[in-house]
Amino acid sequence: MPSTLSWIDYDSEAQQRAKRILTLFKERDTRDELGFGPIRDAISDILFPGTSTIHTRLRYMLFIPWAYTEFERKGVSSNKIREHSRWLQLKLAESLKHNSPDELGIIGGEVGDKLKTLPSAIYWAGLGRWGIRVYPGTEGQYQRALDDIYHRRKKTRASLSAAVEHGDDVGGLWEIGAYSFHPGLPDVPVNFPHDESFKLTKPEARYLQERIRQTCSDSLLCDLMANPVEVSADAPWEHPHLAEFRPEHRDLLWHGRHFSTIVYGAAVLYNQMLAEKRGDERLLAQHRESGRAWLNELDGQLSEVQRWASDLPVFWRAVEGRGHDIGARTILFVEQWIALLLQFGDSIFDQPVARKLVREREIEKKRRNSRFTNPRVLDQWGGSSGLVRMIYRWQIVQSYIKDMAAAVGSSP
């Protein structure tokens, strides 16, 4: 049975909290039926490196390294670390729920010990991107390597002592195998993890600002976190201070906005075709209405869409080679969809060539699980797929800005 969220006639703050929950789940629930994900993720990583749609609150960037540095301090062995880590992270969720019952973003707050994906797995990549995690491997590799890490550190200390005793140069010697996490990490709070909340102290916030500045200085995330301002904006290109962003960030947001808007139409057509194949007239009417709304939105933007289409080579150069495999067929599909939109305009959804393009793309991506060719998969379709506009992790970034501003003060 699908989850629902009903409106309750409480105060405006409660309503705003419910809206944030809805928006957060929508961004996480973005299906990638037509293969736009690598482009979306490349834009997201350029603008907001180290973030993810499954992140929640900023202080997890400290909770995880605090947990592991405490385990290392106590010498927890490789064969025990996984068990210890799970226990601590579940205890953390329990403490957060107890100390901050009305807060959003508690990972595991509702499911308790049934939690499958721990915060450490969710935040591990981001910790590495921000240089808070020094160990270069996966979390599993780190856990398996702990005994060896302890052994190397013991040898390093012995070598250091011998070098000092003989008056030798010890520059850099201590750094070899010395750290799994950044040495400047703020001190672990007293009674961690039992008394925790999402409230950053000012020193913690300054540390995170500096890590982002050191590792992601060319990003929009760096600028927004350096001068945190809470704003009301549903997408980054709607930010009231957009004009003050660096030119390269404004340019990429211009590309990202048009890409998000235009490929949304391909997702609408995909859903229309599935509703037709299923023979669901009510659902088809809904998706046709979505199509009309999208075309009305584009109606006043035709000249800008044409200008963006003419600037596609610049867009591809901006997003390619950013750690995501944007294949030639993905580029071709996007360019063909744009060309058909410019050619047929308001009749795009009725064009056999457009329908063929979308159908073949979905079959290419999903193969045996294509809803066009596999009746069982079509029967399992929930009635809507991929109908969430790409906003490039903006909701997560806003959550981070809010947490940062609460600690250091919101800049005007």
Determine the pLDDT at residue 229. Answer: 94
Domain segments of the chain as ranges: 27-49+200-412, 60-199
Determine the pLDDT at residue 198. Answer: 96
**Residue 202 predicted with pLDDT over 50:** yes
| Residue 228 phi, psi dihedral angles, 5° rounding | -70, 125
Rg (alpha carbons) of the chain, rounded to whole number: 25
Q: How far apart (Å, rounded) are the C-alpha atoms in residues 48 and 216?
A: 9
Determine the pLDDT at residue 322. Answer: 84
Question: What average pLDDT does the segment 116-140 reach?
Answer: 97
If pLDDT is split at 50, 70 and 90, which confidence band does 16 have? very low
Determine the pLDDT at residue 231. Answer: 94
**Residue 308 predicted with pLDDT over 80:** yes
- For 74-107, the pLDDT digits (tens) are 999 999 999 999 999 999 999 999 998 889 999 9
- Read off the tokens for 148: 């060896």
If pLDDT is split at 50, 70 and 90, which confidence band does 29 have? very low
- For 44-67, the pLDDT digits (tens) are 999 999 999 999 999 999 999 999
Average pLDDT along the chain: 89
- Alpha carbon 245 to its chain centroid, in Å, reads 21
144-175 burial string, b = 16+ CB within 10 Å, else e?
A: eebeebbeebeebeeebeeeeeeeeeeeeebe
Determine the pLDDT at residue 165. Answer: 55
H helix or E strand, kind and range, residue 203:
helix 202-215
Count Cβ atoms below 10 Å from residue 313 Cβ, excluding itself: 8
Contact predicate 360/244, CB 8 Å: no
Tell me the residue type at 179: Y
Q: How far apart (Å, rounded) are the C-alpha atoms in residues 206 and 398?
A: 18
Tell me the residue type at 353: V
If pLDDT is split at 50, 70 and 90, which confidence band does 5 have? very low
Q: How far apart (Å, rounded) are the C-alpha atoms in residues 170 and 70?
A: 27
Determine the pLDDT at residue 11. Answer: 47
Contact predicate 198/100, CB 8 Å: yes
